[in-house]
Amino acid sequence: MERGNKRIVEGVIWKQLLIFFFPIMLGTFFQQLYNTVDAVVVGRYVGKVALAAVGGPTSTVIALLVGFFTGLSTGATVVIAQFYGADDPERTSRAVHTAVVLALAAGAAMTVLGVALADWTLRKMQTPPDVMPHAVSYLRIYFAGIVPSLLYNMGSGILRAKGDSKRPFYLLAGGTAVNLAADLLLVVRCNCGVNGVAYATILSQGFCAAGVWWLLARESGPFRLELRKLRCDWLLLQNIIHIGLPAGVQATMYSFSNIIIQAVTNKFGVDVVAAWAALGKVDALYWMVMSAFGMALSTFSGQNFGARRYDRVIRSIRVCSLMAFVATGIIVAAFLSGGELWFRIFTDDPQVIGQGLMLMRLMVPWYFSYVLVETISGGIRGTGDSLAPTAIMAVGVCVFRLAWMWLVVPAHWDIRVVAWSYPISWAQTTVLFVLYYFFSGWMKRSIARSGHQLPSA
Protein backbone atom coordinates (compact mmCIF):
# COMPACT_ATOMS: atom_id res chain seq x y z
CA MET A 1 0.00 0.00 0.00
CA GLU A 2 1.28 3.47 -0.84
CA ARG A 3 2.71 5.62 1.86
CA GLY A 4 0.05 8.35 1.48
CA ASN A 5 -2.74 5.84 1.97
CA LYS A 6 -0.91 4.27 4.95
CA ARG A 7 -0.98 7.59 6.77
CA ILE A 8 -4.75 7.77 6.30
CA VAL A 9 -5.41 4.40 7.92
CA GLU A 10 -2.85 4.84 10.70
CA GLY A 11 -2.29 8.55 11.36
CA VAL A 12 -3.78 10.89 13.97
CA ILE A 13 -7.46 11.13 13.07
CA TRP A 14 -8.09 14.84 13.53
CA LYS A 15 -4.97 15.77 11.59
CA GLN A 16 -5.87 13.44 8.73
CA LEU A 17 -9.42 14.76 8.62
CA LEU A 18 -8.15 18.33 8.41
CA ILE A 19 -5.74 17.35 5.61
CA PHE A 20 -8.81 16.14 3.70
CA PHE A 21 -11.12 18.90 4.89
CA PHE A 22 -9.31 22.12 4.01
CA PRO A 23 -8.65 21.43 0.31
CA ILE A 24 -12.21 20.11 -0.07
CA MET A 25 -13.65 23.13 1.73
CA LEU A 26 -11.59 25.60 -0.29
CA GLY A 27 -12.43 23.71 -3.48
CA THR A 28 -16.13 23.77 -2.62
CA PHE A 29 -15.76 27.46 -1.80
CA PHE A 30 -14.41 28.22 -5.26
CA GLN A 31 -17.09 26.03 -6.83
CA GLN A 32 -19.73 27.98 -4.96
CA LEU A 33 -17.92 31.18 -5.89
CA TYR A 34 -18.85 30.52 -9.53
CA ASN A 35 -22.52 31.21 -8.85
CA THR A 36 -21.78 33.86 -6.24
CA VAL A 37 -19.63 35.83 -8.66
CA ASP A 38 -22.38 35.47 -11.26
CA ALA A 39 -24.93 36.83 -8.77
CA VAL A 40 -22.70 39.74 -7.74
CA VAL A 41 -21.98 40.74 -11.35
CA VAL A 42 -25.60 40.62 -12.54
CA GLY A 43 -26.90 42.16 -9.32
CA ARG A 44 -24.51 45.09 -9.63
CA TYR A 45 -24.43 45.61 -13.38
CA VAL A 46 -27.78 44.31 -14.67
CA GLY A 47 -30.25 44.69 -11.78
CA LYS A 48 -32.31 42.86 -9.20
CA VAL A 49 -34.50 41.10 -11.79
CA ALA A 50 -31.37 39.49 -13.25
CA LEU A 51 -30.19 38.66 -9.72
CA ALA A 52 -33.49 36.93 -9.04
CA ALA A 53 -33.13 34.96 -12.30
CA VAL A 54 -29.56 33.75 -11.70
CA GLY A 55 -29.74 33.21 -7.95
CA GLY A 56 -33.35 32.11 -7.45
CA PRO A 57 -35.36 29.54 -9.45
CA THR A 58 -32.52 28.61 -11.82
CA SER A 59 -30.18 27.73 -8.95
CA THR A 60 -32.84 25.45 -7.51
CA VAL A 61 -33.39 23.62 -10.80
CA ILE A 62 -29.65 23.22 -11.36
CA ALA A 63 -29.27 21.84 -7.85
CA LEU A 64 -31.97 19.26 -8.60
CA LEU A 65 -30.18 17.60 -11.54
CA VAL A 66 -26.56 18.31 -10.65
CA GLY A 67 -27.24 17.35 -7.04
CA PHE A 68 -28.52 13.97 -8.21
CA PHE A 69 -25.31 13.30 -10.11
CA THR A 70 -23.13 14.58 -7.27
CA GLY A 71 -24.88 12.17 -4.92
CA LEU A 72 -24.48 9.36 -7.44
CA SER A 73 -20.77 10.13 -7.81
CA THR A 74 -20.26 9.63 -4.07
CA GLY A 75 -20.92 5.97 -4.78
CA ALA A 76 -17.91 5.94 -7.12
CA THR A 77 -15.75 7.73 -4.55
CA VAL A 78 -16.67 5.26 -1.81
CA VAL A 79 -16.19 2.18 -4.02
CA ILE A 80 -12.81 3.41 -5.28
CA ALA A 81 -11.69 4.40 -1.77
CA GLN A 82 -12.63 0.97 -0.40
CA PHE A 83 -10.74 -0.87 -3.18
CA TYR A 84 -7.75 1.41 -2.70
CA GLY A 85 -7.84 0.94 1.07
CA ALA A 86 -7.99 -2.83 0.52
CA ASP A 87 -4.92 -2.60 -1.81
CA ASP A 88 -6.79 -3.96 -4.87
CA PRO A 89 -5.30 -2.10 -7.90
CA GLU A 90 -7.16 -4.09 -10.58
CA ARG A 91 -10.66 -3.30 -9.32
CA THR A 92 -9.58 0.25 -8.43
CA SER A 93 -8.62 0.87 -12.09
CA ARG A 94 -11.82 -0.65 -13.45
CA ALA A 95 -13.89 1.44 -11.03
CA VAL A 96 -12.07 4.63 -12.12
CA HIS A 97 -12.85 4.07 -15.81
CA THR A 98 -16.43 3.01 -15.10
CA ALA A 99 -16.95 6.21 -13.12
CA VAL A 100 -15.74 8.40 -16.00
CA VAL A 101 -18.07 6.61 -18.45
CA LEU A 102 -20.92 7.23 -16.02
CA ALA A 103 -20.10 10.96 -15.91
CA LEU A 104 -20.09 11.29 -19.70
CA ALA A 105 -23.38 9.40 -20.09
CA ALA A 106 -25.09 11.35 -17.31
CA GLY A 107 -23.90 14.64 -18.82
CA ALA A 108 -25.42 13.81 -22.19
CA ALA A 109 -28.75 12.92 -20.56
CA MET A 110 -28.83 16.09 -18.46
CA THR A 111 -28.09 18.25 -21.50
CA VAL A 112 -31.19 16.92 -23.25
CA LEU A 113 -33.43 17.15 -20.17
CA GLY A 114 -32.21 20.57 -19.06
CA VAL A 115 -32.57 22.27 -22.44
CA ALA A 116 -35.93 20.67 -23.27
CA LEU A 117 -37.64 21.22 -19.91
CA ALA A 118 -36.27 24.63 -18.88
CA ASP A 119 -39.32 26.71 -19.86
CA TRP A 120 -41.87 24.18 -18.56
CA THR A 121 -40.08 23.74 -15.22
CA LEU A 122 -39.76 27.46 -14.51
CA ARG A 123 -43.43 28.04 -15.36
CA LYS A 124 -44.46 25.26 -13.00
CA MET A 125 -42.42 27.03 -10.29
CA GLN A 126 -44.51 30.17 -10.91
CA THR A 127 -41.44 32.25 -11.69
CA PRO A 128 -42.38 35.97 -11.82
CA PRO A 129 -43.10 37.10 -15.42
CA ASP A 130 -40.37 39.74 -15.50
CA VAL A 131 -37.81 37.16 -14.31
CA MET A 132 -38.93 34.39 -16.67
CA PRO A 133 -37.12 35.33 -19.95
CA HIS A 134 -33.76 35.77 -18.19
CA ALA A 135 -34.18 32.54 -16.21
CA VAL A 136 -35.09 30.38 -19.22
CA SER A 137 -32.18 31.69 -21.29
CA TYR A 138 -29.68 31.19 -18.46
CA LEU A 139 -30.89 27.66 -17.72
CA ARG A 140 -30.76 26.48 -21.33
CA ILE A 141 -27.24 27.76 -21.87
CA TYR A 142 -26.07 26.27 -18.57
CA PHE A 143 -27.39 22.78 -19.36
CA ALA A 144 -26.08 22.90 -22.93
CA GLY A 145 -22.61 22.91 -21.36
CA ILE A 146 -23.20 20.62 -18.38
CA VAL A 147 -20.89 17.73 -19.45
CA PRO A 148 -17.64 19.44 -18.34
CA SER A 149 -19.15 20.17 -14.92
CA LEU A 150 -20.07 16.52 -14.32
CA LEU A 151 -16.72 15.31 -15.64
CA TYR A 152 -14.89 17.57 -13.22
CA ASN A 153 -17.07 16.50 -10.28
CA MET A 154 -16.44 12.83 -11.00
CA GLY A 155 -12.74 13.35 -11.61
CA SER A 156 -12.26 15.26 -8.39
CA GLY A 157 -14.15 12.51 -6.54
CA ILE A 158 -11.76 9.93 -8.00
CA LEU A 159 -8.76 11.92 -6.82
CA ARG A 160 -10.30 12.35 -3.36
CA ALA A 161 -10.76 8.57 -3.12
CA LYS A 162 -6.98 8.35 -3.35
CA GLY A 163 -6.54 11.00 -0.69
CA ASP A 164 -5.71 13.83 -3.11
CA SER A 165 -7.96 16.78 -2.38
CA LYS A 166 -5.37 19.50 -3.11
CA ARG A 167 -5.13 19.34 -6.90
CA PRO A 168 -8.93 19.51 -7.45
CA PHE A 169 -8.83 22.65 -5.31
CA TYR A 170 -6.10 24.20 -7.45
CA LEU A 171 -8.18 23.54 -10.56
CA LEU A 172 -11.26 25.18 -9.03
CA ALA A 173 -9.22 28.21 -8.01
CA GLY A 174 -8.09 28.57 -11.62
CA GLY A 175 -11.63 27.97 -12.87
CA THR A 176 -12.96 30.71 -10.62
CA ALA A 177 -10.42 33.15 -12.04
CA VAL A 178 -11.55 32.19 -15.57
CA ASN A 179 -15.19 32.66 -14.53
CA LEU A 180 -14.58 36.10 -13.05
CA ALA A 181 -12.61 37.32 -16.06
CA ALA A 182 -15.25 36.02 -18.47
CA ASP A 183 -18.06 37.56 -16.38
CA LEU A 184 -16.42 40.99 -16.46
CA LEU A 185 -15.73 40.72 -20.19
CA LEU A 186 -19.12 39.39 -21.30
CA VAL A 187 -21.40 41.25 -18.87
CA VAL A 188 -19.63 44.51 -18.03
CA ARG A 189 -17.79 45.14 -21.30
CA CYS A 190 -19.97 43.36 -23.89
CA ASN A 191 -23.38 43.89 -22.19
CA CYS A 192 -24.41 40.25 -22.68
CA GLY A 193 -26.48 40.28 -19.48
CA VAL A 194 -27.59 36.96 -17.98
CA ASN A 195 -26.46 35.03 -21.09
CA GLY A 196 -22.91 36.30 -20.58
CA VAL A 197 -22.89 34.90 -17.05
CA ALA A 198 -24.02 31.51 -18.34
CA TYR A 199 -21.31 31.40 -21.04
CA ALA A 200 -18.69 32.41 -18.46
CA THR A 201 -19.73 29.49 -16.25
CA ILE A 202 -19.40 27.03 -19.15
CA LEU A 203 -15.90 28.34 -19.95
CA SER A 204 -14.74 27.96 -16.37
CA GLN A 205 -16.18 24.45 -16.05
CA GLY A 206 -14.50 23.46 -19.31
CA PHE A 207 -11.18 24.63 -17.85
CA CYS A 208 -11.69 22.47 -14.74
CA ALA A 209 -12.79 19.41 -16.73
CA ALA A 210 -9.76 19.60 -19.03
CA GLY A 211 -7.53 19.98 -16.00
CA VAL A 212 -8.87 16.97 -14.10
CA TRP A 213 -8.69 14.80 -17.23
CA TRP A 214 -5.06 15.86 -17.70
CA LEU A 215 -4.23 15.03 -14.06
CA LEU A 216 -5.82 11.57 -14.24
CA ALA A 217 -4.11 10.83 -17.58
CA ARG A 218 -0.75 11.55 -15.94
CA GLU A 219 -1.42 9.39 -12.85
CA SER A 220 0.54 6.22 -12.23
CA GLY A 221 -0.91 2.93 -11.11
CA PRO A 222 -4.65 2.19 -10.83
CA PHE A 223 -5.73 5.84 -10.97
CA ARG A 224 -4.27 6.41 -14.45
CA LEU A 225 -7.03 7.30 -16.94
CA GLU A 226 -6.55 5.74 -20.39
CA LEU A 227 -8.91 6.17 -23.34
CA ARG A 228 -8.51 2.54 -24.42
CA LYS A 229 -9.74 1.39 -21.01
CA LEU A 230 -12.87 3.55 -21.01
CA ARG A 231 -15.61 0.97 -20.66
CA CYS A 232 -18.32 0.14 -18.18
CA ASP A 233 -17.76 -2.74 -15.77
CA TRP A 234 -21.40 -3.58 -15.10
CA LEU A 235 -20.76 -5.32 -11.77
CA LEU A 236 -18.80 -2.36 -10.45
CA LEU A 237 -21.42 0.00 -11.85
CA GLN A 238 -24.01 -1.88 -9.81
CA ASN A 239 -21.86 -1.37 -6.70
CA ILE A 240 -21.48 2.33 -7.48
CA ILE A 241 -25.21 2.73 -8.04
CA HIS A 242 -26.03 0.69 -4.91
CA ILE A 243 -24.09 3.20 -2.81
CA GLY A 244 -24.55 6.36 -4.88
CA LEU A 245 -28.16 6.11 -6.04
CA PRO A 246 -29.67 6.60 -2.57
CA ALA A 247 -27.44 9.66 -2.11
CA GLY A 248 -28.49 10.92 -5.53
CA VAL A 249 -32.16 10.34 -4.77
CA GLN A 250 -31.66 12.12 -1.45
CA ALA A 251 -30.13 15.13 -3.20
CA THR A 252 -32.99 15.10 -5.70
CA MET A 253 -35.62 14.97 -2.98
CA TYR A 254 -33.79 17.70 -1.11
CA SER A 255 -33.72 19.86 -4.23
CA PHE A 256 -37.32 19.01 -5.10
CA SER A 257 -38.47 20.23 -1.71
CA ASN A 258 -36.43 23.40 -2.30
CA ILE A 259 -38.12 23.83 -5.69
CA ILE A 260 -41.52 23.72 -3.97
CA ILE A 261 -40.29 26.22 -1.40
CA GLN A 262 -38.91 28.42 -4.19
CA ALA A 263 -42.27 28.25 -5.95
CA VAL A 264 -43.98 29.44 -2.77
CA THR A 265 -41.34 32.15 -2.28
CA ASN A 266 -41.86 33.39 -5.85
CA LYS A 267 -45.42 34.41 -4.89
CA PHE A 268 -44.06 37.03 -2.47
CA GLY A 269 -42.69 39.21 -5.30
CA VAL A 270 -39.32 40.23 -6.77
CA ASP A 271 -37.94 41.82 -3.57
CA VAL A 272 -38.43 38.64 -1.55
CA VAL A 273 -37.15 36.44 -4.39
CA ALA A 274 -34.01 38.58 -4.70
CA ALA A 275 -33.53 38.56 -0.90
CA TRP A 276 -33.99 34.79 -0.80
CA ALA A 277 -31.45 34.44 -3.64
CA ALA A 278 -28.89 36.67 -1.89
CA LEU A 279 -29.39 34.83 1.41
CA GLY A 280 -28.91 31.57 -0.46
CA LYS A 281 -25.50 32.75 -1.66
CA VAL A 282 -24.45 33.79 1.84
CA ASP A 283 -26.01 30.71 3.38
CA ALA A 284 -24.09 28.54 0.90
CA LEU A 285 -20.87 29.38 2.75
CA TYR A 286 -22.09 27.34 5.70
CA TRP A 287 -23.30 24.42 3.62
CA MET A 288 -19.97 24.49 1.82
CA VAL A 289 -18.16 23.91 5.11
CA MET A 290 -20.58 21.20 6.25
CA SER A 291 -20.39 19.49 2.87
CA ALA A 292 -16.59 19.49 3.07
CA PHE A 293 -16.75 17.80 6.48
CA GLY A 294 -19.14 15.20 5.07
CA MET A 295 -17.02 14.48 1.99
CA ALA A 296 -13.79 14.33 3.97
CA LEU A 297 -15.32 11.97 6.49
CA SER A 298 -16.91 9.77 3.82
CA THR A 299 -13.56 9.27 2.04
CA PHE A 300 -11.69 8.78 5.32
CA SER A 301 -14.31 6.28 6.48
CA GLY A 302 -14.25 4.45 3.13
CA GLN A 303 -10.49 3.91 3.11
CA ASN A 304 -10.38 2.84 6.75
CA PHE A 305 -13.37 0.54 6.28
CA GLY A 306 -11.65 -1.04 3.26
CA ALA A 307 -8.54 -1.54 5.42
CA ARG A 308 -10.77 -3.05 8.18
CA ARG A 309 -9.92 -0.29 10.65
CA TYR A 310 -13.48 -0.11 12.00
CA ASP A 311 -12.42 1.54 15.25
CA ARG A 312 -11.06 4.49 13.30
CA VAL A 313 -14.34 4.83 11.40
CA ILE A 314 -16.26 5.26 14.68
CA ARG A 315 -13.71 7.61 16.21
CA SER A 316 -13.55 9.72 13.04
CA ILE A 317 -17.31 10.40 13.22
CA ARG A 318 -16.96 11.66 16.78
CA VAL A 319 -13.86 13.77 16.07
CA CYS A 320 -15.35 15.25 12.90
CA SER A 321 -18.59 16.13 14.73
CA LEU A 322 -16.67 18.11 17.33
CA MET A 323 -14.75 20.02 14.67
CA ALA A 324 -17.97 20.73 12.76
CA PHE A 325 -19.64 22.17 15.89
CA VAL A 326 -16.68 24.53 16.41
CA ALA A 327 -16.78 25.64 12.76
CA THR A 328 -20.53 26.23 13.02
CA GLY A 329 -20.06 28.51 16.01
CA ILE A 330 -17.54 30.61 14.11
CA ILE A 331 -19.79 30.91 11.05
CA VAL A 332 -22.89 31.80 13.06
CA ALA A 333 -20.98 34.56 14.84
CA ALA A 334 -19.62 35.91 11.53
CA PHE A 335 -23.03 35.96 9.84
CA LEU A 336 -24.91 37.61 12.69
CA SER A 337 -22.21 40.19 13.42
CA GLY A 338 -21.83 41.06 9.71
CA GLY A 339 -25.55 41.70 9.33
CA GLU A 340 -26.55 43.71 6.29
CA LEU A 341 -22.95 43.94 5.06
CA TRP A 342 -23.37 40.42 3.67
CA PHE A 343 -26.31 41.54 1.52
CA ARG A 344 -24.63 44.72 0.30
CA ILE A 345 -22.22 42.46 -1.58
CA PHE A 346 -25.10 41.75 -3.96
CA THR A 347 -27.37 44.81 -3.90
CA ASP A 348 -27.98 48.25 -2.40
CA ASP A 349 -31.76 47.94 -2.63
CA PRO A 350 -33.07 48.63 0.93
CA GLN A 351 -36.16 46.44 0.52
CA VAL A 352 -34.10 43.44 -0.55
CA ILE A 353 -31.58 43.99 2.25
CA GLY A 354 -34.31 44.33 4.88
CA GLN A 355 -36.03 41.11 3.85
CA GLY A 356 -32.75 39.23 3.67
CA LEU A 357 -31.57 40.42 7.08
CA MET A 358 -34.83 39.35 8.70
CA LEU A 359 -34.55 35.87 7.20
CA MET A 360 -30.90 35.53 8.18
CA ARG A 361 -31.59 36.33 11.84
CA LEU A 362 -34.37 33.77 11.86
CA MET A 363 -32.44 30.86 10.34
CA VAL A 364 -28.72 31.21 11.10
CA PRO A 365 -28.79 30.54 14.90
CA TRP A 366 -30.27 27.11 14.13
CA TYR A 367 -27.29 25.88 12.13
CA PHE A 368 -26.13 23.95 15.20
CA SER A 369 -29.13 21.64 14.87
CA TYR A 370 -27.85 20.36 11.51
CA VAL A 371 -24.23 19.40 12.30
CA LEU A 372 -24.76 15.74 13.21
CA VAL A 373 -26.84 15.14 10.08
CA GLU A 374 -23.78 15.76 7.91
CA THR A 375 -21.16 14.00 10.00
CA ILE A 376 -23.12 10.87 10.91
CA SER A 377 -24.41 10.38 7.36
CA GLY A 378 -20.94 10.98 5.87
CA GLY A 379 -19.28 8.44 8.15
CA ILE A 380 -21.96 5.81 7.61
CA ARG A 381 -21.92 6.23 3.80
CA GLY A 382 -18.19 5.56 3.79
CA THR A 383 -18.96 2.01 4.95
CA GLY A 384 -21.34 1.47 2.04
CA ASP A 385 -24.56 2.01 4.00
CA SER A 386 -26.37 4.70 2.00
CA LEU A 387 -30.00 3.56 1.91
CA ALA A 388 -30.83 4.35 5.55
CA PRO A 389 -29.34 7.90 5.47
CA THR A 390 -31.41 8.56 2.36
CA ALA A 391 -34.61 7.33 4.03
CA ILE A 392 -33.93 9.45 7.12
CA MET A 393 -33.31 12.57 5.04
CA ALA A 394 -36.40 11.86 2.94
CA VAL A 395 -38.64 11.73 5.99
CA GLY A 396 -36.96 14.31 8.20
CA VAL A 397 -36.35 16.96 5.56
CA CYS A 398 -38.19 16.41 2.29
CA VAL A 399 -41.53 14.98 3.39
CA PHE A 400 -41.74 17.37 6.32
CA ARG A 401 -40.98 20.48 4.24
CA LEU A 402 -43.50 19.54 1.58
CA ALA A 403 -46.18 18.96 4.22
CA TRP A 404 -45.25 22.31 5.80
CA MET A 405 -45.59 24.15 2.48
CA TRP A 406 -48.95 22.56 1.68
CA LEU A 407 -50.56 22.53 5.13
CA VAL A 408 -49.04 25.25 7.32
CA VAL A 409 -47.92 28.07 5.03
CA PRO A 410 -51.31 28.64 3.30
CA ALA A 411 -52.90 29.12 6.71
CA HIS A 412 -50.16 31.54 7.87
CA TRP A 413 -49.09 33.43 4.75
CA ASP A 414 -45.76 34.92 5.78
CA ILE A 415 -42.25 34.43 4.38
CA ARG A 416 -41.08 33.81 7.95
CA VAL A 417 -43.36 30.79 8.18
CA VAL A 418 -41.76 29.49 4.98
CA ALA A 419 -38.29 29.98 6.48
CA TRP A 420 -39.17 28.10 9.69
CA SER A 421 -39.46 24.87 7.69
CA TYR A 422 -35.66 24.73 7.57
CA PRO A 423 -34.60 24.78 11.24
CA ILE A 424 -37.48 22.51 12.28
CA SER A 425 -36.51 19.93 9.64
CA TRP A 426 -32.82 20.11 10.64
CA ALA A 427 -33.59 19.42 14.29
CA GLN A 428 -35.89 16.47 13.76
CA THR A 429 -33.56 14.89 11.17
CA THR A 430 -30.70 15.11 13.65
CA VAL A 431 -32.76 13.19 16.21
CA LEU A 432 -33.43 10.44 13.65
CA PHE A 433 -29.74 10.16 12.74
CA VAL A 434 -28.64 9.97 16.37
CA LEU A 435 -31.13 7.16 17.02
CA TYR A 436 -29.93 5.29 13.94
CA TYR A 437 -26.26 5.72 14.88
CA PHE A 438 -26.62 4.33 18.39
CA PHE A 439 -29.32 1.68 18.04
CA SER A 440 -29.46 0.27 14.47
CA GLY A 441 -26.31 -1.89 14.30
CA TRP A 442 -25.25 -0.24 11.02
CA MET A 443 -21.55 -1.12 11.36
CA LYS A 444 -22.17 -4.86 11.77
CA ARG A 445 -24.43 -4.88 8.72
CA SER A 446 -21.86 -3.03 6.61
CA ILE A 447 -19.12 -5.47 7.64
CA ALA A 448 -21.32 -8.47 6.85
CA ARG A 449 -22.36 -7.01 3.48
CA SER A 450 -18.70 -6.38 2.52
CA GLY A 451 -17.74 -9.99 3.23
CA HIS A 452 -15.23 -8.97 5.87
CA GLN A 453 -14.89 -11.03 9.00
CA LEU A 454 -16.62 -9.54 12.03
CA PRO A 455 -14.11 -8.32 14.66
CA SER A 456 -13.89 -10.45 17.80
CA ALA A 457 -15.43 -9.15 20.98
pLDDT (0 to 100) of residue 266: 85
pLDDT tens-place string over residues 359-396: 999 999 999 999 999 999 989 988 888 788 888 988 88
Distances (CA, A) of 177 to 33, 34, 188, 214: 10, 9, 16, 19
Rounded to whole angstroms, the Cα distance separating 324 from 445 reads: 27
Query: What whole-number distance in Å separates Cα of residue 362 and Cα of residue 385?
Result: 34
Amino acid, res. 231:
R
* Listed residue (150, 135, 145) closest to 66, CA to CA: 150
CA-wise closest residue to 141 among 251, 69, 53 = 53
Instruction: Note the pLDDT tens digit of each residue in 414-457.
Output: 999 999 999 999 999 999 999 999 999 899 988 888 765 545 43
pLDDT of residue 417: 94
| pLDDT of amino acid 453 | 54
Give mean pLDDT, residues 177-194: 84
Q: How confident is the model at residue 249 (pLDDT cuts 50, 70, 90)?
A: confident
How many beta carbons lie within 10 A of that of residue 414, not counting itself?
Answer: 10
pLDDT single digits (tens) 305-339:
888 889 999 999 999 999 999 999 999 999 999 88
Task: Give residue 382's pLDDT.
Answer: 85
Q: Tell me, what's the pLDDT at 49?
A: 75
Residue 3 pLDDT > 50? no
Cβ-count burial of 129 within 10 angstroms (0-12 exposed, 13-18 middle, 19+ buried)? exposed
List of residues 6+ apart from 233 with CB closer than 8 A: 94, 95, 97, 98
- pLDDT above 70 (res 31): no
Mean of the per-residue pLDDT values for the chain? 85
pLDDT-derived band at 122, boundaries 50, 70, 90: confident
The one-letter amino acid code at 330 reads I
What pLDDT shows up at residue 55?
A: 65
Query: What's the pLDDT at 6?
Result: 45
pLDDT in tens, 34-78: 667 777 777 777 777 777 767 667 777 777 777 788 778 888 888
Name the residue among 356, 407, 405, 398 with its Cα closest to residue 373.
Answer: 398
- Residue 99's pLDDT band, with cuts at 50, 70 and 90, is very high
d(CA 91, CA 222): 8
Residue 5: what pLDDT?
Answer: 45
Q: Would you say how long the chain is, in residues?
A: 457
Q: How far apart, in Å, are the Cα atoms of 189 and each of 33, 38, 52, 224?
A: 21, 15, 22, 42
d(CA 357, CA 136): 28
Least trusted range by pLDDT, from 28-37, 263-272, 359-368:
28-37
